[in-house]
């Protein structure tokens, strides 16, 4: 199946005029380069899969979160689209983290958080999430 998909993508790319916009981006697991997270991502491993979340345009990143990793109440200046690839992500909406109000999102789940919605999250087990959106991405912590 993967070979068929790659062949179809390459055939389409070869048939189109050569340009950066018409070249497919293909990332295999061995291509993913993890780096230590900083700021709100301290303790996580981060990989930029596509684009640049700091610039205008589409981006895709992955976060590898250890069991119990938490993101306190925060919001984004762009729509945050999250797919859970491994483990479980617990999410809640509001200005204060309340574990009793968190929803459990197992691997395969997807959530889209609109601009400005206050929310919080926590990893249950070793968890990998993929986030995509239109940059520049931003994350602002809610002040208590």
Predicted structure pTM score = 0.84
So what's the pLDDT on residue 18?
A: 41
| Res 13 pLDDT > 70 | no
Residue in 83, 59, 50 with CA at minimum distance from that of residue 137: 59
Q: For each of the domains in the chain, give its residue range(s) and CATH number, in order of start.
A: 1-26 (no CATH), 32-141 (2.60.120.10)
Q: CB under 8 Å to 72, separation ≥6 — which residues?
A: 97, 120, 141, 142
119-129 pLDDT tens trace? 999 999 999 99
- Residue 65 near residue 128 (C-beta atoms within 8 A): yes
């Amino acid at each position: 199946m993967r070979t068929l998909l790659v062949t179809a993508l390459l055939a389409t790319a070869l048939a189109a005029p050569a340009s950066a916009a018409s070249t497919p981006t293909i990332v295999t697991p061995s291509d993913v380069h993890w780096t230590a997270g900083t700021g709100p991502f301290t303790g996580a491993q981060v990989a930029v899969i596509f684009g640049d979340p700091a610039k205008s345009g589409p981006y895709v990143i992955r976060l590898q979160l250890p069991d119990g990793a938490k993101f306190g109440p925060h919001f984004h200046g762009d729509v945050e689209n999250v797919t859970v690839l491994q483990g479980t992500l617990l999410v809640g909406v509001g200005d204060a983290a309340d574990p009793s109000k968190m929803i459990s999102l197992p691997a395969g789940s997807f959530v889209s958080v609109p601009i400005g919605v206050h929310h919080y999250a926590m990893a249950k087990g070793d968890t990998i999430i993929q986030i995509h959106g239109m940059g520049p991405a931003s994350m602002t912590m809610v002040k208590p």
